[in-house]
């Protein structure tokens, strides 16, 4: 019996499982729908609903809490002038690696997920009363799909409830 065991392991080590869940939560917030296996969908729904509940109240603490789960790509690298200014204030400063400059300067829609969550997604659910049904939770609908063709894994789609 699995008493007091809360989450599924999804046949992955903890670091890989958390990376998978974080990525799927990001894609859910970015596209407002995700198709995945049923077990993963249940775990993603649990995590995403907690983040939406936190995002309903826009405070610094809640933003930092949500930022732990919403990973952002690196920002553009600093120029030589910016480094010189930083070096003037901090004599032990080191120039940031320039080998990933092209990646840093590419357009990344993931950079806007956090602001979208706090400004667009969470306000939809803000007027729900806390003690009413669906007050804290029920933001995401899980709809079962036919099994996947290759391995017959049960599929599901996650949708944000309007």
Whole-angstrom distance between the N-terminal and C-terminal Cα of the chain? 38
121 alpha-carbon distance from chain centroid: 13
Among 118, 18, 110, residue whose Cα is nearest residue 60: 118
Q: What are phi and psi of 128, to 5 degrees?
A: -70, 135
| pLDDT for residue 53 | 93
pLDDT in tens, 140-150: 999 999 999 99
Does residue 152 register a pLDDT over 90?
A: yes
pTM of the predicted model as reported, rounded to 2 decimal places: 0.79
């Amino acid at each position: 019996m699995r008493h007091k065991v809360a989450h599924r392991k999804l046949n992955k080590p903890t670091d890989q499982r958390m990376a998978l869940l974080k990525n799927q939560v990001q894609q859910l917030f970015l596209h407002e729908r995700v198709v995945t296996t049923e077990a993963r969908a249940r775990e993603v729904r649990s995590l995403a609903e907690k983040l939406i509940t936190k995002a309903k109240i826009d405070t610094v603490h809640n933003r930092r809490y949500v930022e732990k789960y919403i990973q952002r790509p690196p920002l553009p690298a600093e120029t030589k002038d910016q480094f010189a200014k930083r070096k003037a204030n901090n004599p032990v400063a080191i120039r940031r690696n320039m080998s990933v400059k092209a990646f840093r300067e590419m357009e990344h829609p993931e950079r806007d997920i956090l602001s979208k969550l706090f400004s667009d997604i969470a306000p939809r659910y803000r007027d729900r009363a806390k003690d009413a049904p669906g007050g804290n939770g029920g933001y995401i609908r899980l709809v079962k799909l036919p099994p996947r063709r290759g391995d017959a894994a049960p599929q599901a789609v996650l949708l944000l409830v309007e």
